[in-house]
Homo-oligomer: A and B are copies of this chain.
Amino acid sequence: MTALRGTLSPLVRRSTLWSLFSSHIRPNNKTVRWLSQQQHRGAQGTRTSVLLTGTVDRFGGVTVKLDSSSLPLDISESAFSELLRDSLIQWKAEGKVAVWLHVPISLSRCAGAASSHGFTFHHARLDRAVLALWLGEGESRLRGFATHQIGVAGAVVDESNGKVLVVQDKNKTKNAWKFPGGMSDPGENIGATAVREVYEETGVHSQFRSLLSIRQQHNHPGAFGMSDMYFICRLSPLTYDINFCTRECLRCEWLDLAELAKTNETTPITTRIARLLLHGLEHGFDTIDLAMEEIPAYQLYQLYHRRLPMALKP
């Protein structure tokens, strides 16, 4: 990680000095004072540059984090634009391949200024946006941001009587039985999502047993143009009393799996999973399960696949 502070070329120095007195800078006293101070301190040798400073990653990308320590909080769009322009001249001269610009939401006007230099949003969350500009040859090779939302449903099967826990959503045009479920949070394992969502919707405590199925779907109406993966897990009940969430659900019942597999009052995917579960009840769940294992690699991860004879595991 190399800070870029103090790597001023003559070319950049010229353009920076020019910008101090340019008519492109509006008469915003605070900004001019700040830039002047930089110049003054530069003359004293404590600081030699009014360029943006950043860290360099191993791919040759520069990351600049804007905050009150690097900028006056009331810097104008045009003053920031000049500063960024001069910094870009320097980074290009140094052969940098990309610039990442972290912008706090309160300094969003700097994002507007950056857009005039070709920056676009890479992503944004809560109080911060990250913009990127590819400086390398050809098409951008920058890694994209998260592209998928992950939903998880839990099929809680009571093996003692062949019943499964199902709900009907509130405010739907068609009343269809389905398995309780919802969106997985970042950092949450899918089994944990299934157990949490089942409890939140139905009041039933349960335990993760296996992954049963995955649905891939694009153009999901609630996915903001991104894609959707839906995981259906098999769970075992730890409690049986239903206390369902009246805000989300219209009905909640323990329903016969055989009945769920036959009824029209459900969705195609629920019918399919009900048939899969019936098969598991009759022939053993190891015929339908994807087993989960936690594997310590350079980081701990969870791996799902069909169970192998023990001798084949490492």
Q: Which residues of A contact B (CB under 8 A)?
A: 77, 105-112, 115-116, 119-130, 143-150, 183-190, 211-220, 222-227, 229, 267-269, 271-273, 275-276, 278-279, 287-290, 295, 297, 299, 301-306, 308-309, 312-314
Contacts and interface: CB of A to CB of B under 8 A. Distances in A.
A293 B147 CA distance: 22
Contacts of A116: 106
B314 A271 contact: yes
Contact of A120 (B105, B112, B227, B308): B105
A275 B312 contact: yes
Contact of A145 (B129, B211, B215, B226): B226
Contacts of A146: 145-149, 223-224, 226-227
B108 A108 contact: yes
Which 8 A-B pairs have CB atoms at the shortest separation, nearest pair first? A124-B124, A108-B112, A121-B124, A213-B305, A109-B109, A108-B111, A146-B226, A105-B115
Given A120-B127, A124-B121, A314-B275, A212 B305 contact: yes
B147 A149 contact: yes
A127 B111 CA distance: 10
- Where chain A touches its partner, the secondary structure class is mixed
Given A185-B147, A186-B147, A128 B121 contact: yes
Contacts of A124: 121-124, 129
Number of copies: 2
Given A77-B109, A150-B229, A187-B218, A268 B297 contact: yes
A303 B190 CA distance: 17
A145 B306 contact: no
B123 A123 contact: yes
Given A215-B302, A308-B275, A313-B275, A115 B127 contact: yes
Given A223-B146, A290-B290, A306-B288, A218 B111 contact: no
A110 B108 CA distance: 8
Nearest to A184: B147
19 contacts: A105-B119, A109-B109, A115-B127, A120-B127, A121-B129, A123-B125, A125-B145, A130-B224, A147-B150, A147-B184, A186-B218, A186-B225, A186-B227, A216-B304, A268-B297, A272-B295, A279-B308, A289-B306, A306-B306
A229 B229 contact: yes
A290 to B, nearest CB: 7
